[in-house]
Amino acid sequence: MPQAQARAVLPVVLLGCGGVGRHLLRHIVSCRPLHANQGVAIRVVGVADSSSLLVADDVRASGLDDALLNDLCSAKSAGSPLSSLLARGHCQVFNKPEAMGKVIDAATMLGRTTGLVIVDCSATYDTVGVLKDAVDHGCCVVLANKKPLTCAYEDFKKLTSHFRQIRFESTVCTSY
């Protein structure tokens, strides 16, 4: 059957590929037919963990392919580093501190052209700087990680300065 042409391509960079980040990646891959029906293609162009960033060779043209994303999930589950996927080709690995600079490069390239969504599934305050820069470059930010929202008030104001560009949810539980 001919594939429907995607009306919208949505490039994504994922920060954090622990339990939540991996589930998101698997969900994106398994929902491709649903996305296609909606005319949307989610293009995962980069995935970062605490020490490195795996990024597509040319983030303007393509993302990490689905087989690679599945292998990435398996590798991280097994405790292997992102660099173990380098042999697959069509991707590069940058280690800290260069890695976050490369996320900003992608944000600069894509934020005001195709658009770029930065999804924070880490569990750290360390992403605040890159998220603020991404918002400045016109990117959208989606947070599973709530720490960036509980940082300094100036940072919170910056992150939420364009409210259409940020999405988050949280659950509050009180026990007596």
Give the number of other Cβ atoms within 10 Å of residue 67's Cβ.
Answer: 10
15 forms part of the interface with ligand NAP (CB under 6 A): yes
CB of 84 to ligand NAP, least distance (A): 13
126 forms part of the interface with ligand NAP (CB under 6 A): yes
121 forms part of the interface with ligand NAP (CB under 6 A): yes
**Helix, strand or coil, per DSSP, at residue 147:** helix
Sites for ligand NAP among residues 36-55 (CB under 6 A): 48-51
Residues 6+ apart with CB under 8 A from 95: 51, 52, 83
19 forms part of the interface with ligand NAP (CB under 6 A): yes
20 forms part of the interface with ligand NAP (CB under 6 A): yes
Nearest 5°: phi and psi at 93? Answer: -120, 130
Residues 6+ apart with CB under 8 A from 37: 4
Among 29, 36, 109, 123, binds ligand NAP (CB under 6 A): 123
134 forms part of the interface with ligand NAP (CB under 6 A): no
Strands (E), 27-143: 40-48, 52-56, 91-95, 117-120, 140-143
103 forms part of the interface with ligand NAP (CB under 6 A): no
Q: Are 9 and 41 in contact (CB under 8 A)?
A: yes
Q: What distance lies between CA 12 and its chain's CA centroid?
A: 5
Give the number of other Cβ atoms within 10 Å of residue 17's Cβ.
Answer: 25
Stretch that binds ligand NAP, among 28-36, 121-129, 134-142, 148-156 (CB under 6 A): 121-129
18 forms part of the interface with ligand NAP (CB under 6 A): yes
Q: How many residues bind ligand NAP (CB under 6 A)?
A: 19
94 forms part of the interface with ligand NAP (CB under 6 A): no
Stretch that binds ligand NAP, among 3-11, 85-93, 108-116, 117-125 (CB under 6 A): 117-125
- Positions touching ligand NAP (CB under 6 A) are 15-21, 48-51, 121-124, 126-127, 144-145
